[in-house]
Amino acid sequence: MTIRHHPDFASLMCCAAGSQPDAFAAVIASHLSVCADCRAEVSRMQEIGVALFDALAPADVDAAAPVIAMRAGEAEMGSAVDESVTATAREAPAGDVPLPLVSVLGARLDDLPWRWSAPGIWTHPVPLSENAGGELLMIKVGPGKEMPAHGHDGQELTIILRGAYTDTIGRFGVGDVADLDSDTEHTPVACATEGCICLVARDGKLRFKGPVARLLQPLIGL
């Protein structure tokens, strides 16, 4: 697997700080499970955060225990990123679902209860905890099929799990992440032979360019 597209620096920083909404954290965790470079970068960011925390002057508080526990947890996390991924890999069942999502989705993408959304497009919502931030969605696009031209109302974070797609930004294959914001407009086209299966996190709806796609949007769930 050759990964060419990684999350933005800001997204990795949010991961290191533990401040990402659940949906986006799921995509980042899925990418970290296959990308050693980004695991190392997140670990480095966590080490920097711990060092900055250590440099803070102590403050007088009535209950220091929660702060001490948080500090200990950050240090432990910073030193255990690679080890935890490796241990999970040894225990995970064979399949093509990212390791962090196996407990929620099962191990095989083909076993998901896909919902037909439009010709050549199927979706499957991924359940999140109550009051979780963002929306998490599996999208499957048939070989050679084209997603309608669209922009985004907010941030969208996508990891490719099978196949590939191509747009004006480039080609995105397995493990690649598309980290997009409201300034991005594109028309993804799925691989002609394998199609494409993606895990998508977003905090806003798509802005379809065509009138037909806009009219059907409430029905297709995109």
**121-174 pLDDT, tens per residue?**
899 999 888 777 778 999 999 999 988 776 667 788 999 999 999 988 899 999
101-132 per-residue burial string, b: 16 or more CB within 10 A, e: under 16: bbeebeeebeebebeebbebbbbbebebeeee
Strand order in the sheet with 171-172: 171-172, 165-166, 189-190
Confidence category of residue 189, pLDDT binned at 50, 70, 90: very high
**34-78 pLDDT, tens per residue?**
999 999 999 999 888 766 655 555 555 444 443 333 334 434 434
pLDDT of residue 93: 52
Higher pLDDT, 176 or 91: 176
pLDDT of residue 168: 86
Residue keyed to tokens 């931030």: 133
Parse the chain into domains and list their residue ranges: 9-104, 106-220
* CATH no. of 106-220: 2.60.120.10
**11-35 pLDDT, tens per residue?**
999 888 888 888 899 999 999 999 9
pLDDT above 80 (res 91): no
pLDDT of residue 141: 94
pLDDT of residue 202: 86
Confidence category of residue 96, pLDDT binned at 50, 70, 90: confident
pLDDT above 90 (res 90): no
Domain 9-104 bears CATH identifier 1.10.10: yes
pLDDT of residue 173: 95
Q: Provide the residue count of the chain.
A: 222
